[in-house]
Amino acid sequence: MSGPRPPALLTAVHGSAALLATGCLLGMLGSGLVDRGTALAFGALVTLGELTRWTGAEGREAAPLGAAAALSYALLGESGGEPTGHGLAQVVGVVLAASLLGSVPHIARGRPVLDHLARRMLTVGFAAACFQPLFNQGTFHGWGTSYALLLLAVLTLTALCDAVLAAALAHARTRWPFGPLLRDELRATLGVGSAVCATGAVMALAVAVVGLWALPVFSLPLLLTQMSVRRYAAVRATYRQTIASLARATEIAGYTPAGHARRVAALSREVGRELGLSEAELTVLEYAALMHDIGQLSLVDPVPAGATAVLPVEEQRRIALLGGAVVRQTGVSPQVATIVERLADPGPEQPVAARIVRAVNAYEEKSRDAGPDGPLRALEELRLGTAGDYSPEVVGSLAMVLSRDCLTRPGAG
């Protein structure tokens, strides 16, 4: 049986981008390329940006140089004091050709590019549609300093549109709640996104005055920023790998089954998304889930199969406190240690992250070796325990995640 069909929203976004790109390419081919030198210069910069694109934090595709160059070309009206004469069709056509050329290595490595290209076409098309027709009609002539504010306003609206598109595409692919996804995209826009918008506006203004020589000058700071962000992302990846290695200590010592911490962390993150946690909160939650059993290393006799959920409450609390003490010695965030320490507290007194790890850990332990019906029986036990042991909201979100995973698994249904 074939896998699930692409959601309608995903098809609509890709279809809209394809229609826009096709129409603009046909229009550009019909009218010819205006001001080829400027088009080639910006196209080369977009291509360079796409070639240096990488998967950034939380899996986001990052190509700040390509985005800034594309937006700058969309908002370019003059080059060296002379009108450029290009319009919406040429902007989208040039950016599309350059983006496709720069995406060739990514496509060859099997990396997905459709969502990225669709967002690029729609956001650049939006910016160009807001600016190019009015500029070519002379609407902005004589605006003075207000002209720079106009560019920033258009770029701000474009950034908001891009955030909505990114959240919508992620929601369509993962079925995660749209609100938290949009909030995380808006927060990301305030970071590197603000630098992209500012660079795009400054590049357009500088090229209008001094010509194409401004491009390498104003591209350098963004390239340096990109290198810094990539280095920071590498440090975070190493940090996570270190935590994952520490979490495996209980598996190596025979206290917990292989892969238990990883499974609890992955499912806890899904439940956290369902409950609307931010990316920063999800990261803390994931680290706490990875290290939730570290306190078992203090036990003389291992718990059978590492199943702490069946232990008396006092023993669970002792293991949790010992685990928190170990986490504090590793240099991991104190927030992670606090969550680990409070895993055995009464449900209403626990932080949300501790409630999630407690419920997911119990579900994993109860369903692990219970046969084909184990997951259903484990979930039913958790539902019966919502009166005191487990949070009803967490158990409900866990059920939603599990049902969604069954529906979206290839061959399901």
Which amino acid appears at position 51 of this protein? Answer: L
| Confidence at residue 407, expressed as pLDDT on a 0 to 100 scale | 45
Which amino acid appears at position 260 of this protein? Answer: H
In this structure, which topology does domain 248-404 adopt according to CATH?
Answer: Hypothetical protein af1432 (1.10.3210)
| Confidence at residue 95, expressed as pLDDT on a 0 to 100 scale | 93
Q: How many H-runs (helices) and E-runs (strands) does the chain carry?
A: 17, 4
User: How distant is the alpha carbon of residue 413 from its chain centre?
Assistant: 28
Alpha carbons 409 and 90: distance in angstroms, whole number:
42
- Cα torsion 275, 276, 277, 282: sign: positive
The SS3 assignment for 275 reads: coil
Tell me the whole-structure pTM to 2 decimals. Answer: 0.77
Which amino acid appears at position 249 of this protein? Answer: A
- Cα torsion 252, 254, 260, 264: sign: negative
| Confidence at residue 413, expressed as pLDDT on a 0 to 100 scale | 37
Q: What is the mean pLDDT of each run of 10 residues along the chain (413 residues)?
A: 59 92 88 87 90 63 80 89 86 93 89 89 93 83 78 89 90 83 85 81 88 85 76 77 82 82 91 88 90 79 67 80 84 86 80 91 80 78 76 89 63 38
Domain residue extents for the chain: 8-232, 248-404
Tokens of 1: 């049986």
Q: Which residues of 290-315 are buried (b: 16+ CB within 10 A; e: fewer)?
A: bbbbbbbeeeeeebeebbbbeeeeee
Alpha carbons 277 and 83: distance in angstroms, whole number:
49
Q: DSSP assignment, residue 112?
A: -
Q: Which residues of 243-282 are buried (b: 16+ CB within 10 A; e: fewer)?
A: bbebbbbbbeeebbbeebbebbbebbbbbbbbbebebebb
| Confidence at residue 94, expressed as pLDDT on a 0 to 100 scale | 93
